[in-house]
Amino acid sequence: MKTSTLKKLIGTTVASLSLISVSGLPAVAGQLHNGWNYGIDSFADGSGGEAYNIKGIAIKETSDSIFVALTGGTPLAGVSHNNAVDKNIGWGDLFLNFTGKNFTTASNQKKLFGVRFAETNDSGVATTGLYGNVKGVSVTGDNYGHSSLKHYYDAGWNQANTQGTDIATKADAYNYFGEGKILNVIDSGATKLGDIQSLSAAALNSQGLNFGFFDASGTETFGFSLNKANLGLADGNYDYMASLFLECGNDGVALSVPEPGSIAGLALVGLTLIGGSRLSKRQS
């Protein structure tokens, strides 16, 4: 079997078998490649131009770490803007939702995890790192941004995959985030659980990252890793939704990450189908 055909078969298998809905969450539809799970965002939904456009998020897990990569047109340090209170518009914080509930519910119950990875942003926590007991809060008003998610969509940004391939429609976005304020940073009062390690594009590429496989490489690519033990999730078998918005709310992206066992199972099914195809060819 040709390599290109093999890749297509595995990709089709993963896409077909990973559409499993969870209460309050959209179906899992992340795209797997070389050990990374990708959520590819619309390339034409960055309200305000390319400097506020996210192209994708990718997550990879090892036995002890979670690696997160982001790509788009927004630098890690943000973009200078005179209409922002601090004269800078950048990345919000990353939220991890393990509850199986929608974002609004998990936030109200302070059951989110959050990662502040951008030192220059308007987060409610003092330093970069991983946080628990997290509630989201909106800083779009301080960053010349959209007053609500509905305002963003009503302004003409209702593109396919506006929040990435895992929250692909406006209805999906409203179901998960709600129509109200865009909660894009960690509110004060969260508990710091550990530090993160910032990673360059080169460091991420050495781990097998390849946004180019999906034609989704932005001018800015960076990321970080965190220690899984700091999450305090005992058995390690979990799935979750990762999501973030820019400080202005001009773009966002989300990725539904299946538990490691599910990824391995999908890969095994793909290999089984490949093996069956080869056997069928030999018998024909």
| Residue-wise pLDDT tens digits, 222-264 | 999 999 999 998 666 689 999 999 999 999 999 999 976 554 4
> Considering the entire predicted model, what is its pTM?
0.83
How many domains does the chain divide into? 1
Query: Is there a domain that residue 166 lies in?
Result: yes
| Cβ neighbours of residue 153 closer than 8 Å, sequence gap 6 or more | 162, 170, 173
Q: What is the strand order of the sheet 196-200 is part of?
A: 31-33, 36-40, 54-61, 65-72, 220-227, 196-200
Q: Could you tell me the residue range of the domain that residue 173 belongs to?
A: 31-274
Q: Does residue 24 belong to any structural domain of this protein?
A: no
Using DSSP bridges, classify how beta strands 136-137 and 129-134 pair: parallel, antiparallel or unpaired: unpaired
At 10-28, the pLDDT tens digits run: 443 343 334 333 334 444 4
17 within a domain of the structure (yes/no): no
pLDDT of residue 155: 86
- Taking residue 198's Cβ as centre, other Cβ atoms within 10 Å add up to 15
In a domain, residue 195? The reply is yes
Residue of 135, 99, 100 lying closest to 114 (CA atoms) = 135
Q: Which pLDDT belongs to residue 41?
A: 80
Euclidean distance between CA atoms 10 and 274, whole angstroms? 8
Domain presence at residue 282: no
pLDDT band at 168 (very low <50, low <70, confident <90, very high): confident
pLDDT at 40: 92
Q: What is the pLDDT of residues 60-110, one digit of tens each?
A: 999 999 999 999 999 999 999 999 999 999 999 999 999 999 999 999 999
